Structure 1
Amino acid sequence: MLLGGDKLKQLLGRKNILLLVLLISVIGFGIRHSLKEPAPVTQIENVRVLESVRSPYFLPQYLAFNLGYFKEQDLSVSITTTSQEAIRAALSDGRTDIALCGLQKILFNPAAKGPQPKLFATLARQDGSFLLARKDADNFQWKNLKDKSIIGGSEDDSSEIALEEALRQQGQTPNRSVTIYHNIPDTLRLGAFRAGTGNYIQLLEPAASLAESKDYGRVAASVGITTGDMVVTAYAAQPGYIESKAAVIQRFTNAIYKAQLWLGQHSSEEAAEVVAPLFTNVDRQVLIKSIERYRTLGVWSSDPLIPRQSYDKFQAAAKEAGEITSPTPYETVVMNEFAQQAIQTVIYVKEEPKPKKNLFQRVFQ
């Protein structure tokens, strides 16, 4: 049956009213539902980190901090520098959540109390210390260290273990054919060298580049290059913290890995600009030189994984140095699952600088 014009208009009007009522009902339900169940808000987690030294050796950590990668992971991270002895004690009694320092102090400290910490990420493939000579070091050879002396760190310091391993690899016998001064406090070591003590001094960056800038000495050799890949520092936390805060450890590792990716795609000058606020007492050119030296030597890791071979190599060196009596199995202390997850999920794409607009573009675009 055909409908007349008036009836057709009435029918269409009724349909429109029904559609309008249905639309209002749907919108109202959505509003009520959103009011009853607000979107979940990720909780910001506070993370306390203690580091053993403020050095470009730990550069990825500072990049993650100043580039906002920790904040991206909903972490409020505080970084404090203190002695390695204090770090191990702070881990034991809960005054820090995460520690970044030498493996010797974290794992093989016989005076430490409480459960043994676990390692979950690393920043560097090898030791970051250098030997500085008093004069031009262009013709340096390790064999010429015979009957010479070196101002080093404490005997149980991880970099000191790396130095002794380098000496042994080059045919020297630490503390026999070469004398190493272990008893000079860190704050007095460079002053003692300037005053005439020792033929060489062992320094990290930026102290090495700073000493060169002041003509106190010249870098003669890299300890890490001589020993090869050997993890000497790592991030550690107590087993209880890792178990209860696994998501925090994962987010922390994600931020570190993103910083490592960033570092692989940016220059030393760009990196220095980012981290300069954390090195207020270091001249910008000295900071750039420090970063470039580490970059050229390939000191930093491209990811947070702790390789078994690298870990075992450090243990063997520590045992040879007389600092440990029995090894700690890799499987019992290293937890690479957080680093593996970060590698699988975290990406970084470098943003290309946008071209500057000319006057016409600024006005009409």
Structure 2
Amino acid sequence: MRILTLFLSLLLIIPLAACNNDSVQKLKVGEVAHTIFYAPLYVALSEGFFEEEGLEIDLTTTAGGDKTMTAILSDGIDIGLVGSETSIYVEAQGSTDPVINFAQLTQTDGTFLVSREKIDNFDWGQLKDSTFLGQRKGGMPQMVGEYVLKQHGIDPRNDLELIQNVDFANIASAFSSGTGDFVQLFEPTASIFEEEGRGYIIASFGEESGHVPYTTFMAKQSTIDENGEAIEKFTRAIYKAQQWVKDHKPEEIAEAISEQFPDTSIDLLTTVVDRYKSQGSFATDPILGEEEWVNLQNIMDEAGELPERIEHDVLVNTSIAEKVISE
């Protein structure tokens, strides 16, 4: 009798377990890079905000804007975290299934100007006649870099020697080996250089360029149409994380994302998070505003990389984020 009771109990438990498992929605997400700059995403993972929404996130690093967009278009991933300029490039090529920006994660450039020599009273004019080791041509870091230089009256083509033929992965090592008087670096490399005396952070391109939709979550329109509920849940989890980051100290944020960066010390994580948070790099909500969209295209246009002007409502969907925020 006890064996029969146990057997009947198992029959009841197994369907329930299967039902619960079926209720979890899986999303494949590709991030263009794995960086502290994306701290709110990792907070959403570590604090269980995706789980609260019944989502299971398969996160991979797709390493580069072109590769990330290819993964989106080929259904290799459901959602991509990448610069908004990539959606403009695809739309300009005549896409029949546009890639839509639905949730913003970072709202400033994430690079810093690092000098080889310590400069106590830096002025942008000091870059004239120098050698500047910039980022890859056509990418947001390089476009922002050129935009900021021009804002300070510096012609990147004539007033300095601009080097932009070094692969992203090799820029830091090229500077270490003696190339360039100044270099444009992401964190934590910039802070590591400063700690080791190999360079000095003297300016922030994020502060200089203002708000832009630097990295956003995007998906094909067909994906949003077919999986609207999952996209909304995803956006809600991101918003929870953004608010958590807004309300917590850099030390707490560093601790929350530490598992994502096992080779980086808590002290360095805290330094980088503090720098990004203090300059407003982390968006506090997922809405990508029209002013930011216009600023993005102005920067692309200034760099000669804007194929055509595209209206905000063509490639940006704010309704999902607005619904999540209003709840």
* TM-score, normalised via structure 2 length: 0.90
CA deviation after TM superposition for structure 1 residue 106, in Å: 3.2
Consecutive unaligned residues in structure 1, runs of 5 or more: 1-37, 346-365
Q: What residue identity is the alignment partner of 2:75? A: G
Q: How does 1:199-210 map to 2 (within 5 A)?
A: 199-210=181-192
Deviations 1:265-306 (A, max 9, x none): 111111111100101121221111000111111211111110
- What does residue 193 of structure 1 align with? 175
- What does residue 10 of structure 2 align with? none
In structure 2, C-alpha distance between the alignment counterparts of 1:322 and 1:312, rounded to whole Å: 15
In structure 2, C-alpha distance between the alignment counterparts of 1:138 and 1:256, rounded to whole Å: 39
Picking from 141, 144, 156, the partner of 2:123 is 141
Confirm or deny that 1:70 pairs with 2:24: no
In structure 2, C-alpha distance between the alignment counterparts of 1:281 and 1:314, rounded to whole Å: 34
In structure 2, C-alpha distance between the alignment counterparts of 1:277 and 1:137, rounded to whole Å: 35
Confirm or deny that 1:304 pairs with 2:286: yes
CA deviation after TM superposition for structure 1 residue 113, in Å: 6.6
Q: Which is higher, the Rg of structure 1 or of structure 2? A: 1
Q: How does 1:21-170 map to 2 (within 5 A)?
A: 43-81=23-61, 82-109=63-90, 115-170=97-152
Deviations 1:87-145 (A, max 9, x none): 11111111011111112233225679763200001112211111111122332111111
CA deviation after TM superposition for structure 1 residue 213, in Å: 1.9
Conserved 8 A contact 1:294-1:300: yes
In structure 1, C-alpha distance between the alignment counterparts of 2:146 and 2:159, rounded to whole Å: 12
Consecutive unaligned residues in structure 2, runs of 5 or more: 1-15
Deviations 1:176-223 (A, max 9, x none): 213322110122111110111111111111121122222211111100
In structure 2, C-alpha distance between the alignment counterparts of 1:80 and 1:114, rounded to whole Å: 26
Answer 1 or 2: higher relative contact order, Cα 8 Å, separation at least 6. 2
Q: What residue identity is the alignment partner of 2:249? A: S
- What does residue 232 of structure 2 align with? 250
Confirm or deny that 1:327 pairs with 2:309: yes
Taking only the aligned residue pairs, the percentage that are identical comes to 29
Conserved 8 A contact 2:81-2:217: yes
- What does residue 201 of structure 2 align with? 219
In structure 2, C-alpha distance between the alignment counterparts of 1:123 and 1:190, rounded to whole Å: 25
Picking from 158, 166, 181, the partner of 1:176 is 158
Confirm or deny that 1:342 pairs with 2:324: yes
In structure 1, C-alpha distance between the alignment counterparts of 2:265 and 2:313, rounded to whole Å: 43
Conserved 8 A contact 1:104-1:156: no
- Aligned to 1:108, the other structure's residue is in SS state helix
Deviations 1:304-363 (A, max 9, x none): 110100111110110121112311111100000111111112xxxxxxxxxxxxxxxxxx
- Aligned to 2:105, the other structure's residue is in SS state coil
Q: What residue identity is the alignment partner of 1:188? A: N
Conserved 8 A contact 1:158-1:233: no
Q: What residue identity is the alignment partner of 1:156? A: G
